Structure 1
């Protein structure tokens, strides 16, 4: 009885997740097609048909590979291979990424909520212009069908600068790489770019009004939203 329970537990632990299986299939396809850095993967519809999965399922797996830097998904071009790692290293990277997501969200909610609060208290007219410029940049990206990742990054940088806190800015720089992982993953969710832009506008409005409490609350709500990601289970 105890032996059977132990075997069941081992089976549950070692069984690959669906997204891991699909990532492995994509890597096998890259290998068989002899694609190298700079080569473009087939269009999502074609690749989904070849792999026998839905486009929505494939899109999530491609986001996972983009998070790891294996591919670069460019609007209008498609998924471009950046480098060709071995499958075990990719799976290991994905598992490590999943395990640190909650801690990244904790760090962001701690640092960025305070930054938004300080920005509302300390922002200058020049700071406000930088925030609005970032909003415009993201809006243009999203309107063109892109995910708005660059504008998203500019917005959070502008809010950080508006807080005029050198130490908090240094801490944000320290975790920038980890935030990039969550930015790619979050903006890869259907409808998320538009939701994120609307959330940014709410934060900006509070900062413009010098409403520190409102800016902090809006940023906390924003971090909770962008941290809600759905990589394949």
Structure 2
């Protein structure tokens, strides 16, 4: 957990260097070894930071060539949706979608849901299986407005850099829990139990949003520690009493 918190501070420091003009769009970042020495962290930590910067669309990794800075695409702040907002909206809409689908889902759709569970258990592209699972349920409602809403949620999840980074940090660490929660939803749908389906879907999203909060708190705590460490180094009197 400490290393995961640490790489976020490196992401922010590199972004500041990019925004300051030290590394303008089109320029190449220093090699991994030099960055590790410059920031006094391990090379794996630098790799984590580069992956996050790539997801945020701040850099592009060209195999065999290096890491290049991209032109920053600023979002319209009036329409920026956070991972927390998205998750809450999904819980509200998909909870009711599951309740409705429990009364309308076909045997064929149940079979397709079960196949996504098999794929998740075996680690066969679990993210794609996760998406298909939720879209099958939305389709099973026989309500095109619900299907459209859930489809738009997934488009946002797949296109918003900040949401992609937030979800990547928690989903990749909880594949087993995600599969168990999907199994509970499936069992409720199979039993045609609307109340149980709604509760299982809400439980699934409650765990996810709590994981997002924990990751956010860890990042904030690491930033406070970093700032405190810098202040301590600046005003330390240890050289006077040693």
Q: TM-score w.r.t. structure 2 length?
A: 0.62
Alpha-carbon contact 1:63-1:188 (below 8 Å) kept: no
Gap change, CA 1:84 and 1:152, over 3 Å in 2: farther
Secondary structure of the structure 1 residue equivalent to 2:90: helix
Give the drift of 1:162.
1.9
1:62 to 17, 26, 51: 51
> What pairs with 1:209-220 in structure 2 (closer than 5 Å)?
209-220=191-202
Q: CA–CA distance in 1 between the matches of 2:131 and 2:90?
A: 13
2:167 to 178, 186, 189: 186
Q: CA–CA distance in 1 between the matches of 2:98 and 2:16?
A: 41
Alignment RMSD (CA, Å): 3.9
Gaps (5+ residues) in structure 1? Answer: 1-16, 35-40
Gaps (5+ residues) in structure 2? Answer: 1-7, 221-242
Aligned equivalent of 2:41: 53
Q: TM-score w.r.t. structure 1 length?
A: 0.64
Aligned equivalent of 2:179: 197
Q: CA–CA distance in 1 between the matches of 2:131 and 2:175?
A: 12
> What pairs with 1:1-233 in structure 2 (closer than 5 Å)?
18=9, 19-24=11-16, 31-33=27-29, 49=36, 51-53=39-41, 55=44, 59=48, 62-63=51-52, 65-66=54-55, 68-69=56-57, 84-86=69-71, 89=72, 100-141=82-123, 148-180=126-158, 181=160, 182=163, 185-189=166-170, 191-227=173-209, 228-229=211-212, 230=215, 232-233=219-220
Aligned length: 193
